[in-house]
Every structure is written in structure tokens, then in C-alpha cells.
Amino acid sequence: QQQVKQSPQSLIVQKGGISIINCAYENTAFDYFPWYQQFPGKGPALLIAIRPDVSEKKEGRFTISFNKSAKQFSLHIMDSQPGDSATYFCAAIYGSARQLTFGSGTQLTVLP
């Protein structure tokens, strides 16, 4: 019940296209859903996050869509750029537990 399932495992998109990464969770106690971006040799960096009382959050080219009833959330990267090529992780956290539960990651490649 602690799992966060992420898909696809890898994604190849042309420059200017839309990248979509999906995650699903089971634990309804989760109350914060961040996305992290990780470049090779670096730690994950917080990209954008959402709470379950909001259906969509947009920051620049990055948008999180959240469907509470389906227990699913997704990351959309508009106008994808080669510099967006990285591994993306969704995550979830709840209450006093504090530790993040991560999805398995999606390796995104944006072709020039």
C-alpha cells in the first residue's frame, strides 16, 4: 500500500513535443505529491509538487495533473527541450511519516 507506480520506464520525445509521465498510488493517506528531476551524477532536485485538494498545478513548462478519485497523477512537460533529458521521479508523502515514497523513475530523452 506504500507503493507508487510510475510509467513509462523510458520515454523518447522530439524537441518541442509534450512529455507525459504517469503515477498511481494506493495509500489515500498521502497528502503531498512532489516530482523530482535527476541528472546523471547529481541528486534529485524538486521540480514541482501538488496537494490532493488541487487538480492541476502549472509552473512554466511543467504541469501536474491530479485525479484524486482515480488515485493518479501525472507530469506534463510542454515544449520539451534537450536540456530536459533526465530521470524523473514521482513521489508521495503523508502526515508525520515524513519519508518520501518514490516511483521507479522515468528516463526521458528529448531528441534535438
Residues making contact with another protein (CB under 8 A): 32, 34, 36, 41-46, 49, 89, 93, 97-105
3 state DSSP class of 95: helix
Of 3 and 72, nearer to another protein (C-beta) is 3
Residue 15 C-beta: closest distance to another protein, Å: 28
Nearest approach, Cβ of residue 112 and another protein (Å): 27
- Alpha carbons 108 and 40: distance in angstroms, whole number: 12
Cβ 38 to another protein shortest distance, Å: 8
Distance of CA 45 to the CA centre of its chain: 12
What is the C-alpha separation between 110 and 18, in angstroms, rounded? 10
